[in-house]
Amino acid sequence: MRMGSGFELFQLLHHRQVAEEMGKVLEREGIPFEIIQTRKYFDPSFAFNKVDPDINLRLRPEDFSRGREVLEAYYSELVGNTDADYYLFKFTDAELFDIVSKPEEWGIFDHALARKILDDRGY
């Protein structure tokens, strides 16, 4: 992780491990980034409740496009190994098209997998 100024939110995530995996991919391509956890403590009352994403993956705005391309290429290679019970396989075509049309609202992996499922379905 590289720290510095000029970084902006690229993607919100629930799991630090996913952010660190994405960071490794970006780092291999020479794209600087930051990972910031916005919730600084653990609140036991949240243990069984849905929690908003609190991990910020931040890039410089000029690297957003290249970062998305690099991560999409990485995840596109992984989608072929996705378990058949992954939740997106149960989505309708319309729901998958919604994911593809709004990549900023979905994780990069889900976006890549939605495209693959639609391709496999003949779209």
Instruction: List, as one string, the DSSP characters of 54-77.
Output: -EEEEE-GGGHHHHHHHHHHHHHH
Using CA atoms, how far apart are residues 96 and 15, in angstroms rounded to an integer? Answer: 23
Using CA atoms, how far apart are residues 48 and 64, in angstroms rounded to an integer? Answer: 34
pTM listed for this prediction: 0.73
Do the domain assignments include residue 69? Answer: no
Same domain, 114 and 87: yes
Looking at the 3D structure of the chain, how many domains does it have?
Answer: 2
Do the domain assignments include residue 76? Answer: no
Instruction: Find the domain containing 45 and state its range.
Output: 1-64
Same domain, 48 and 87: no
Do the domain assignments include residue 73? Answer: no
Q: Mind listing the pLDDT tens digit for each residue in 66-113?
A: 999 999 999 988 898 899 999 999 999 999 999 999 887 888 899 999
Do the domain assignments include residue 51? Answer: yes
Angle, in degrees to the nearest 10, between helices 64-78 and 16-28: 110
- Tokens standing for residue 93: 């075509």
Q: Mind listing the pLDDT tens digit for each residue in 18-54?
A: 899 999 999 999 999 999 988 655 555 555 544 555 8
Do the domain assignments include residue 77? Answer: no
